[in-house]
Amino acid sequence: MTNATEESAIKQEPRGRSRLSRILDSDIMHSFLRSKITILSAVVTLLFLIGAALAPWIAPHNPFDLASISILDARLPPIGMEYSDPNYLLGTDDQGRDVFSGILYGARISIAVGFLSVFFAAIVGVLLGLIAGYVGGKVDAVIMRVAEVQLTFPAILIALLVDGVARAVFGNLDRERFAFWILVFSIALSFWVQFARTVRGSTLVERNKEYVQAARLIGIPPFLIMIRHVLPNVIGPVLVIATINLGLAIITEATLSFLGVGIPPTQPSLGTLVRIGNDFLFSGEWWIAMFPGCALAVLVLAVNLLGDWLRDALNPKLR
Amino acid sequence: MLAFTIRRLLQAILVMLVVALISFTLFRFVGDPVNQMVGVETTPEQREALRELLGLNDPILVQFGRFITKAAQFDFGTSYQFRQPVAELIGRRLPATLELSFVSAVFALLVGIPMGVYTGLHRDSVLSKLFLSISLIGISLPTFFIGILLIFVFAVTLQWLPSFGRGEVVQLGWWSTGLLTWSGIKALILPAITLGLFQMTLIMRLVRSEMLEVIRTDYIKFARARGLRQRSINFRHALKNTLVPVITITGLQLGSIIAFAIITETVFQWPGMGLLFLQSVQNVDIPIMAAYLMLIAFLFVTINLIVDLLYFRVDPRLRVERAAH
């Protein structure tokens, strides 16, 4: 009895340890640690995530608390310039809101829209791709034709159309209330195609393999085969596409907000902040637009670099 | 070749029909067209008469048929906000957008291809690494922010170039061009760079990776062994074979250039159809939205068709493969 427990303890001990060490010792981890740029972009992305998540606690001011902002503080330049106020690191906008705090709160919305829209796009795309690849025939033809038609239109155009329809359906006031979800929906709608095409491609390969045939033979229903057996084998590339699309989704959100059809100025995202600041570019208050714009650019650049690295690291041809 | 052309043509028509259906649905079911056209004081009888007159009481299929017939003649009715025919409004704005798109595509090709060839041939030079870093930043920066940066540097700080509008335009029949006046050309520079930058980096990366692959092939080695001059190998033999994907991508990108013009036109207040479309989205001007959607779809489908056929002509392997089947 004691022998048995000891044996199982011995067996379990390396297993428990190996999970961590397996991650630390994997090819991916090695290639991660080899590339300084990747580490840097991971750190930057992480900083943005933390800053966005903790914005209400770490932001020096609350730009949405009307009681705490004063019009007397409006248009103060960033510190280091003449007339600046040490309270406002990156200056203030036309209503006296702190630009730095605005960026933290704005990044929160930008990142949330980015993550949610990619998440929904991935779910819809992966499901449709699985079904198209596994079922084949007419279902496949219909799904892929729809995907092709949609692929001929750029994401931004589809999102604009969805927004126009939403305005007509909800009216302008209600639209502002739902702006966040309309935006998530329209970006997700324009991003699912790439997921579906990739997953369909790998499902076509997987479905003829022996383990799928075996599962079919013992009578597992097709839906369970797709989810439990095929899905884990086709999910790798999805991760890469998701990372690359995250950068794209954040850009799309910012662009729509900049065009004035995204997040309204009452709860600004990074794109909305640039839109607000754009009006003051000519009167010399460059910091109102430039700092949020730069924050956006750095965030997207870091996410894109991570995506590039992940694609190369998961591609066995390049190892 | 003929069978291929016909099949692609049928596909193109199918896509156009689908888009027409979406446009029609927008037009007919999103908001009430009658409500948009009349005032508050219109009586229900008058409304009903207008409905009858516009044919809104006919069967849906008949209405759809009429919509397509009219769309084929580019008749999309009257804009809700401007009270003018949509075709006229778009027609007046079309030259501005097409000129901007064309110039930025030319810019992207003329700068992107040489940069791609250079970075492909000199992989490890400092200049190549600089080009590649710039291209990565070019892809990560949102178009609108590039525009704002350019305005800030060249229009606000240096005051070299105008930041908005088209400058002076010359009327050539119904086409208005800014390419013939000095102020028109100056006004075009910043928007064209903004719009073309993304395409430029894309073309550069594409040419680079194709060059890297082609240069390793046997026929390039053979050309070198024959003692041909390096310049002739690079441009006559190598570059020529990289051009197939470049043609495809440029062709496909031409469509998205026209769509992305919406952003550039907003930043620079360029009086093109993208700006018109954005205004129509903000004011729920459905006829303009529907017309713009159809026009863009038509441009996309036509460009895709031409690219496919060009592909067929440029790459002999495709023809051989089809013949073998």
Structure ipTM:
0.78
B193-B196-B197 Cα angle (round to 5) = 80
The verdict on a CB contact (< 8 Å) between A281 and B31 is no
Tens-place pLDDT, residues A106-158: 888 899 999 999 999 999 999 999 898 888 888 888 888 888 778 777 778 88
Q: Write down the pLDDT at residue A120.
A: 95
B256–A154 CB contact, under 8 Å: yes
The Cα–Cα gap between B31 and B17 comes to 22
Q: What is the pTM of this model?
A: 0.81
Asked if A273 is an interface residue toward chain B (Cβ–Cβ < 8 A), one would say no
Domain count, chain B: 1
Supply B81's token pair: 């906000």
CB contact under 8 Å between A301 and B136, yes or no, is yes
pLDDT tops 70 at residue A316: no
Which residue in the set A152, A154, A258 is minimally distant from B301, CB to CB?
A152
Residue in A149, A175, A309 to test binding to B, most B beta-carbons within 10 Å: A149
B217 within a domain of the structure (yes/no): yes
Task: Give the best residue of B140, B146, B151, B194 to mutate against chain A (max A CB count within 10 A).
Answer: B140
Rounded alpha-carbon distances, angstroms, from residue B288 to B74, B84, B85, B109, B237? 11, 11, 9, 32, 48
Residue B316 domain flag: no
Q: Which domain holds residue B233?
A: 87-270
Q: How far apart are CA A89 and CA B68, in angstroms?
A: 58
Q: Would residue B15 count as lying in a domain?
A: no
AA letter at B291:
A
Asked if residues B242 and B207 have their Cβ atoms less than 8 Å apart, the reply is yes
In chain A, which residues have their Cβ closer than 8 Å to the Cβ of B143? Answer: 255
pLDDT, tens digit (0-9, with 9 covering 90-100), for A175-219: 677 888 888 988 898 888 889 988 888 888 888 888 888 888 888
Q: How far apart are CA B196 and CA B261, in angstroms?
A: 10
DSSP A179-210: HHHHHHHHHHHHHHHHHHHHHHHHHHHHTTSH
pLDDT at B131: 86
Averaged pLDDT, B249-263: 79
Residue B234 touches partner A, C-beta closer than 8 Å: no
* pLDDT of B303 over the 60 cut: yes
Angle at B190 between CA B185 and CA B193, to 5 degrees: 105
Integer Cα distance of A169 and A218 in angstroms: 50
Domain assignment present for B130 = yes
Measure B275 CA to nearest chain A CA, in Å.
10
Interchain pair B259, A153: CB under 8 A: yes
When CB atoms are compared, the residue of A156, A165, A305 closest to B259 is A156
pLDDT in the model for residue B76: 77
Q: Is residue B162 part of a domain?
A: yes
The half-sphere exposure of A240 on its side-chain side, counting CA atoms within 13 A, is 13
Query: Which position has the higher pLDDT, A45 or B314?
Result: A45
Contact assignment for B145 to A297 by CB distance below 8 Å: yes
Q: Give me the mean pLDDT over the B32-55 stretch.
A: 72
Please name which of A93, A36, A42 lies closest in space to residue A64, comparing C-alpha atoms: A93
Cβ contacts (< 8 Å) between A290 and chain B: which residues? 148, 152
A48–chain B Cβ distance below 8 A for any pair:
no
pLDDT in the model for residue B316: 66
Task: Report if residue B295 sits inside a domain.
Answer: no
Half-sphere exposure of residue A101: CA atoms within 13 angstroms, side-chain side: 20
pLDDT number for residue A76: 67
pLDDT given at position A123: 93
pLDDT for the residue numbered A12: 46
B70 against B317, higher pLDDT: B70
User: Is B137 within 8 Å of A261 when comparing Cβ atoms?
Assistant: no
B69 in any annotated domain: no
Contact B297 A153 (CB under 8 A): yes
Q: Is B163 on the interface with A (CB under 8 A)?
A: yes
Closest chain A CA to residue B295: A153
Express each pLDDT in B75-124 by its tens digit.
777 777 777 888 888 888 888 888 898 899 889 889 988 888 888 888 88
Residues of A numbered 153-182 whose beta carbons fall under 8 angstroms of chain B's beta carbons: which are they?
A: 153-154, 156-157, 160-161, 163-165, 167-169
Q: What does pLDDT average to over chain B?
A: 80
B263–A contact, CB cutoff 8 A: yes
Contact A251, A216 (CB under 8 A): no
Q: What is the CATH number of the domain that holds B257?
A: 1.10.3720.10
**What is the Cα–Cα distance from B176 to B100, expressed in whole angstroms?**
12
What's the pLDDT score for residue B174?
Answer: 74
A307: closest CA of chain B, how far (Å): 12
The total of other beta-carbon atoms located within 10 Å of residue B30's CB is 18
Separation in Å, CA of A41 to nearest CA in chain B: 13
**Interface test mutation site (partner B, options A35, A110, A160, A315, max chain B beta carbons within 10 A):** A160
3-class DSSP assignment, residue A242: helix
What confidence tens digit (pLDDT) does each residue in B257-276 have?
A: 877 888 899 888 888 888 88
Q: Which one-letter amino acid corresponds to residue A263?
A: I
Cross-chain Cβ contact A259/B266 below 8 Å: yes
Which residues in chain A are closer than 8 Å to B139, comparing Cβ atoms? 304
Residue A125 in 3-state DSSP? helix
Instruction: Look at residue A7 in the predicted model and tell me its pLDDT.
Output: 47
Instruction: Tell whether B263 is covered by a domain.
Output: yes
Round to whole Å and give the CA distance between B180 and B171: 10
Looking at per-residue pLDDT, the higher value among B33 and A243 belongs to A243
Find residues 78-107 of chain B whose CB sits inside 8 Å of chain A. Answer: none
CA distance A215 to chain B (A): 36
SS3 A98: strand
Which residues in chain B have Cβ-Cβ distances shorter than 8 Å to A300? 140-142
B293 touching chain A per CB within 8 A: yes
